Amino acid sequence: MEKYKGGIYRRFLKRPMDFILSLIAIIVLSPLLIVIAILVKTKLGTPILFKQRRPGMNEEIFTMYKFRTMTNEEDDNGYLLPDSERLTKFGEFLRSTSLDELPELFNILKGDMSIVGPRPLLERYLPYYSKVEKLRHTVRPGLTGLAQVNGRNNLEWSDRLEIDIEYVRNINLLLDLSIILKTITKTIRSEDITVVDKSSIKDLDDERRTSIENKGIGN
């Protein structure tokens, strides 16, 4: 069994700190949360929140909350239009400022998430992690994380997941504080924020399924 750094902080202090800080943030930001909720309902309609199942600690599935950023516009056949066509200017603003992420504070309060940790990815990715990469689910997923302040969605999957494991193996108070400060700085500067994913990086399951198929062809 691997031994990790920051034992006392990791085991006894991180969760209480998450609870206290998320509660304070919700109280302080409640006027902003109410205003955004009203604007979302006015400009985008209901539901106000976007909800999605994500794997958390020990791969237990929870419902993650975000403010909705897209309309429900459909084509003539009743299918949703592409994300880029359903994303409004207001939705772009919420994403570019990361304000759409604020409802995740309630996930932190509930214990689904942490302020800092590997970001919760899609449930369908679970079968495609290596044994080492599965270590990212031995801690609570985070509102922000080490990968988010080191390239975010611009990273290749292998690099992004490697950084997640680096974080899991080195959790400590100073590292978390450093990530929080860097996140605030990057958010203010709108650095590494992808409003609409236009990168060439495939979804993790597509990328690894293709890799497995190519290896099969090569054998």
Residue 1 lies in a domain: no
pLDDT for res 119: 97
> Does residue 116 contact residue 22 with C-beta atoms inside 8 Å?
no
Could you say which residues of the chain have pLDDT below 70? 1-3, 5, 191-200, 215-219
pLDDT for res 216: 63
Which of 143, 140, 147 lies closest to 115, judged by CA?
143
Residue 179 lies in a domain: yes
Residue 130 lies in a domain: yes
Specify the number of domains making up the chain. 1
Residue 71 lies in a domain: yes
CA distances from 105 to 45, 81, 149 (A): 22, 30, 19
Residue 2 lies in a domain: no
pTM for this predicted structure? 0.89
Residue 65 lies in a domain: yes
Residue 171 lies in a domain: yes
The chain-wide mean pLDDT, for the chain, equals: 90
Domain that holds residue 155: 7-211
> Does residue 140 contact residue 114 with C-beta atoms inside 8 Å?
yes
52 forms bridges with which residues in the sheet? 64
Residue 217 lies in a domain: no
pLDDT for res 72: 83
